[in-house]
Amino acid sequence: MEIEAVRGDITREKVDAIVNAANSSLLGGGGVDGAIHRAAGPGLLEECMELRRTELPDGLPVGEAVPTAGHDLPADWVIHTVGPNAHRGETDPALLASCFTSALRVAADVGAGTVAFPAVSAGVYGWDVADVARIAVDAVRSYAAAQDGRSTVEEKEDAAAGTAQGSDAGAGAAHAAISAPAVGDNQVRLVRFVLFDDRALEAFERALG
């Protein structure tokens, strides 16, 4: 997986999916959330309202992710995730890491091979951007390692099935594939962090090394 950081406007990214730093209502807000809703047009709000009526009557929980169409955006998909709010005492790094891994899993499941992220929870949610950068990069790299590991397991499964059809060896390889770390159904090839200012860009560049 290629991982990079750029300064820019995430609503203009020509990738398969962009990630929205949403609030739990999914009905739009300020910052990145508001910008994405404005650029996507009214169809995005209508789709989010339908999600609230059906699958998510209580809203989207912190750390989880859900996809919608991109509507008027260049991206085919918007993947909404709710970051932890430090002002409400939500300071567990695992919650923030889950935003990135959950969004990547959803991206893979919908077939999005290229994904753009904002600095989830930086800004109004009170997390220091340097901490967000470190946690985000670590989470994406962990997902990439799990994705690569699953591919290796599946290659071994195919080889085992080819040489031992119906044997215990083939069954063992199948079990190994099932118990591999949870990643999406397809490969994510590119993650691009799209940052709103030079300070955020520098923080992500440092985290990327």
Chain segment 65-91, per-residue pLDDT in tens: 999 999 999 999 999 999 999 999 999
Task: pLDDT band for 154, please (50, 70, 90 cuts).
Answer: low
Is residue 181 included in any domain, yes or no?
A: no
User: The tokens 């992220």 sit on which residue?
Assistant: 117
**Half-sphere exposure for 41 (CA within 13 Å, toward CB):** 8
Domain span at residue 10? 2-148+186-208
Structural domain total, the chain: 1
Of 130, 109, 121, nearest to 205 by C-alpha is 130
**Can 168 be counted among the known catalytic residues?**
no
Backbone angles phi, psi at 130, to 5 degrees: -65, -40
Backbone angles phi, psi at 128, to 5 degrees: -65, 135
Specify the pLDDT at position 149. 85
Q: How far apart are CA 13 and CA 115, in angstroms?
A: 9
Q: Is 167 helix (H, G, I), strand (E, B) or coil?
A: coil
Is residue 170 included in any domain, yes or no?
A: no
Is residue 139 included in any domain, yes or no?
A: yes
Tokens of 153: 């397991």
Q: What is the CATH number of the domain that holds 202?
A: 3.40.220.10
Is residue 169 included in any domain, yes or no?
A: no
The per-residue pLDDT of the chain, averaged, comes to: 88
pTM for the predicted model, two decimal places: 0.85
Tokens of 119: 């600095």
Specify the pLDDT at position 83. 98
Q: Which of 33, 76, 138, 197 is catalytic?
A: 33
Task: pLDDT band for 159, please (50, 70, 90 cuts).
Answer: very low
The CA R_g of the chain, rounded to the nearest whole Å, is 18
